[in-house]
Homo-oligomer: A and B are copies of this chain.
Amino acid sequence: MRHRLKDVAERAGVSVKTVSNVVNGYVHVKPDTRARVEEAIAELNYRPNLSARNLRKGRTGVIALAVPELDIPYFAELARHVVTAAAELGWTVLIDQTGGGREQERVVASGITEHLIDGLIFSPLALTAGDLAGLDGTPMVLLGERVDHGPYDHVGIDNVAAAREITAHLIGLGRRRIAAIGSQRTPEGASARLRLAGYAAAHADAGLDFDEALVAPAPAWHRAEGAVAMRSLLSLPVRPDAVFCFNDTLALGALRALHEAGLRVPDDVAVAGFDDIEDGRYSVPTLSTVAPDKERIARLAVELLANRIDGDRTAPPRELPAPYHLELRESTQGP
């Protein structure tokens, strides 16, 4: 049932290497030899054994994408784009789910890394530059917040600027008590820190006070936490008139809590998110958000990785900014 080059070679009456040459599109093969070999390949339904090829070539043709959680829509959408972009370059993508913990991420970074894949696109939450330091030269591209990422290429949007812009948008609507949901004090919370910094910067730009009481923490950025945080903000003596959530799932949870509290969005409280996930286009109301260009991020990451794998592995790390824009919808603008 399973055939090898040798079987094809015997059937076509040529050497094993000639079959290999045909399979790999080597030019100097006589047309009728090629035809005979191709016929034999078809008859036997031959397919190359990738393990053997990889062993010989030192390449696997597989790259991995490691993300914290697949059922966070942002990562699922990103994964789709990475798979598409990689396929165009002939790579298969192995998707790995780290869970987001530091230890798990370290295991992925050091373990998967070896021999099974040619390179890794990594979107870490918890990992620090130090954790990545000891790895032996597997090409790797980092996604996400701009932190200190050591010798690795990086693709990401300017989190501070984006957060600043969308906060400025809320201020521009005349809102003055703007809450933030999603702050994190842990070392994992690099994104949170940057987005909070943008939020603070926008306040400073407008001459508004930064009110610590309006900043609600959320350890994991899920819908449930957004709802909980929103409820606690609503119990403040003076309730906020807008809220900037550090991602869209938090914002969807906040919308839910506002609905339960009988408040109108955006009339009573305007809501903005971050990530531009599909859900936000169909929520009630639709969600204003920062829209990173995911397709572009995926493409850049794959290309950077391809360059590392095929090219100079010792070149200095590159830092590619990805574009984003504000997607303003009902949750701040009204119907």
Contacts and interface: CB of A to CB of B under 8 A. Distances in A.
Interface of A: 1-2, 45, 47-52, 54-55, 60, 62, 69-71, 73, 76-77, 79-80, 83, 92-97, 111-112, 114-116, 136-137, 223-224, 227, 252-253, 255-256, 259, 278-279, 281-284, 286
Contacts of A279: 252, 279
Given A76-B71, A284-B284, A51 B136 contact: no
Given A71-B80, A73-B71, A94 B94 contact: yes
Contact of A137 (B1, B51, B62, B253): B1
A94 to B, nearest CB: 5
Nearest to A279: B279
Given A55-B55, A70-B80, A95-B95, A1 B136 contact: yes
How many identical subunits does the complex contain? 2
A223 B282 contact: yes
Contacts of A92: 94, 96, 112, 116
B80 A69 contact: yes
B52 A282 contact: no
Contacts of A1: 136-137
Contacts of A286: 256
Contacts of A49: 55, 114-115
Given A48-B115, A256-B284, 9 more contacts: A1-B136, A51-B51, A71-B73, A71-B77, A71-B79, A76-B76, A92-B112, A227-B282, A284-B284
A99 to B, nearest CB: 9
A284 to B, nearest CB: 5
B284 A255 contact: yes
B45 A55 contact: no
Nearest to A81: B71
Contacts of A73: 71, 73, 76
A281 B222 CA distance: 12
A223 B278 contact: yes
A62 B62 CA distance: 12
A115 to B, nearest CB: 5
Nearest to A116: B50
A121 to B, nearest CB: 14
Contacts of A223: 278, 281-282
Given A71-B278, A80-B69, A137-B1, A47 B115 contact: yes
B2 A136 contact: yes
A224 B282 CA distance: 8
Contact of A259 (B83, B95, B284): B284
A54 B115 CA distance: 11
Contact of A70 (B76, B255, B281): B76
A253 B278 contact: no
- Give 8 nearest A-B pairs by CB, closest first: A51-B54, A95-B95, A47-B114, A51-B55, A223-B282, A71-B76, A76-B76, A49-B115
A283 B227 CA distance: 12
